[in-house]
Amino acid sequence: MMAEATPRWAFLTNHARALICIARDPGIRIRDIGRYVGITERAAHRIVAELLTAGYITRTRDGRRNLYTINSHMGLPDPLVHHRNVGELLAVVAAAKPNRP
pLDDT tens for the 101 residues of the chain, in order = 456 778 888 889 999 999 999 999 999 999 999 999 999 999 999 999 999 999 999 999 999 999 999 999 999 999 999 999 999 999 998 776 655 54
Query: What residues contact residue 94 under an 8 Å CB cut-off, 6+ apart?
Result: 20, 23, 24
Query: Which pTM was predicted?
Result: 0.85
CA distances from 3 to 6, 7, 8, 12 (A): 8, 10, 14, 20
Domains plus CATH for the chain? 14-93 (1.10.10.10)
